A = this chain, B = another copy of it.
Amino acid sequence: MIRPALRCDVPPALRRLAALAPLDAAAVAALQAALGRAITIRAHREIHSEGGAMPGPQLIVSGWAARVRILPDGRRQLISFLLPGDLVGQCGQPEPLSLSALTAMTDVSICSVPSTADAPPLASAYAHSVALEQAYLLEQITRLGRMNAQERIASLLLELHERLRLNGMADATGFDIPLTQEHIADALGLTSVHVNRTLQAMRRSDDLRWQGGRVTLTNPAALAHWLGRQPARVSGSAMRGA
């Protein structure tokens, strides 16, 4: 199926950071220069390994990645997904270690983040991004701790939708998703069989469609209301754009 191209071709990573904080021309230029220096990691490859040294803060330019923990007996937990515009390894530590593996779910291109010294407004965008990452970790904990399969799936898809809206990769009704049902299962503490059955039930009750790598939410607002879910808010000052 052919879909209309996005209105303009601002790279998603740039679009997200610009939405998190007002950026001046120097900041945008620094980001665009950094994007040009991105390297590509093939799907299924590990970008960082758990316990390894972090090279320094980086930015997802394109593709989807996931933070992954593997238990000794092979059980796999996807901690969180990283989308274009998300930061990796942004922390105040001198010699940080990676707290989890980072795996490319699709081909991923990634670059070092421009220094805030070159463009001070970036500091604010980075701080906002780190806070959002925290917020999504807390969401993930409540999903896993207190929600059933249907709620977990709805909550995760709403979160992905919200985040992809921010970087321009989703429209009002849905988004392209490069994940398998097994990935969803590994993120939500379920089995792929149960994810499959739960998705079927949600399709039957017309909550969503998922075909050909695209998720369509019939009524995102209604779904969010049913869950009692609200968009992540991490700062007193209003967030621009979306």
Contacts and interface: CB of A to CB of B under 8 A. Distances in A.
Number of copies: 2
Contact of A138 (B73, B99, B146): B99
A69 B228 CA distance: 12
A205 interface: no
Kindly name the residue among A76, A92, A131, A187 whose own CB sees the greatest number of chain B CB atoms within 10 A. Answer: A92
Interface residues of A, number: 47
Nearest to A230: B51
Given A91-B131, A137-B141, A141-B141, A146 B235 contact: no
A93 B131 contact: yes
B146 A71 contact: yes
A79 to B, nearest CB: 5
Given A131-B93, A131-B96, A228-B72, A79 B236 contact: no
Interface stretch (A121-129, A192-200, A214-222): A121-129
Given A72-B228, A76-B146, A91-B130, A51 B233 contact: yes
B235 A97 contact: yes
Interface string A118-149: 00000110111011001101101110111100
B128 A93 contact: yes
A94 B235 contact: yes
A95 interface: yes
A contacts with B: majority SS: mixed
A234 B96 contact: yes
Interface string A62-73: 000001010111
A75 interface: yes
B142 A141 contact: no
Contact of A95 (B126, B140, B145, B235): B235
Given A138-B99, A146-B77, A235 B93 contact: yes
B100 A138 contact: yes
A189 interface: yes
B77 A142 contact: yes
A234 B97 contact: yes
A120 B36 CA distance: 36
7 contacts: A72-B228, A79-B141, A92-B130, A93-B235, A97-B233, A100-B138, A144-B189
